[in-house]
Amino acid sequence: MPIPETFTVEGLPENETLDIAYVDVRGEREGPHLTVVAGVHGTEYTSIAAVREFALALDPASLAGRVTAVPVLNLPAFWARSPFVVPVDGKNLNRCFPGDLGGSYTDVLAYRLFHRFVADTDYLLDLHAGDIPEALEPFAIYDESPVEERARGLAVAYGLGHVVRQAATARTVGGSTHAAAADIGIPAIIAEAGQNGILDRTAVETHLAGLANVMAHLGMTSGEVPASSPEEHPGWAWLRTPVGGWWEPAVTTGQHVEAGERLGVVSDLVGGPRHEVVAPVAGVPLFLTSSPAVVEDGLLLGLAKEADG
């Protein structure tokens, strides 16, 4: 069993430090360096559980290369049970990479984590799940970049039903681990399975299977990579509400919708209609806000565009 190590994050505001637990396993044969992280969002538990189990099962005797595995990057959000944001300053850690030593708490945290765990790896997998108010259909994201074909290979090998390519000039998810990694030439993906902050065993197993697939794909283990033909999407339409109120979706995740199709309604708290949400393009909702409570400019859903849309 691998022996856990600790990376101490220093230089945070008010001289706070954080001790980030991880494992680092070097195989008996030559191979690439793969870094696997989770807990960028502190309440996405299926991804955290998967990295914990994956890390403890690593065996140098059967490994080619090196694996660094970090179950929880965002300790402040994990301990506070805070969805999406770091509670210290209210910023989303996955919009702050590669970080900034001159910024606020989350910017400094992102900088330290990025330069410790991402900047010197060969490949990056960042595992996520639907947060507490999010329903989700499993999917992976990679970025347009000079290394995008290698990143796409990771996404397809992971074995989820949908893969989204994010254009470099129109990033919906800017400041993410995978986008910042792509910018410095590291093939990287985000892989999502699980929803609503629930520790669901089926979703954990989905992540574990994806990790095994990628290890085999990279030649780090002797396993076979199952054939995978995900639906591939050329980008996103993320829909927000111009008004706060009560959100009632009319669609479910994984459902194909046409351009102009009704996706749901945001009404006032008495029930009067205020804003009807329609699809700007044909696509598939891969995540949606499952909580009725939405604020002005709140995110309602992510519509993965159809390839010919």
Please give the pLDDT value at position 274: 87
**DSSP helix/strand/coil, 104:** coil
Please give the pLDDT value at position 265: 96
pLDDT 10s digits, 199-251: 999 999 999 999 999 999 999 999 889 998 999 999 999 999 999 999 999 99
| Nearest-angstrom CA–CA distance, 13 and 282 | 45
Average pLDDT over the chain, rounded to an integer: 96
Q: What's the Rg (C-alpha) of the chain?
A: 19
- DSSP single-letter state for residue 167: P
Percent of the chain residues topping a pLDDT of 90: 92
Which regions of 78-161 does DSSP assign to beta strands (E)? Answer: 123-128, 134-136, 139-143
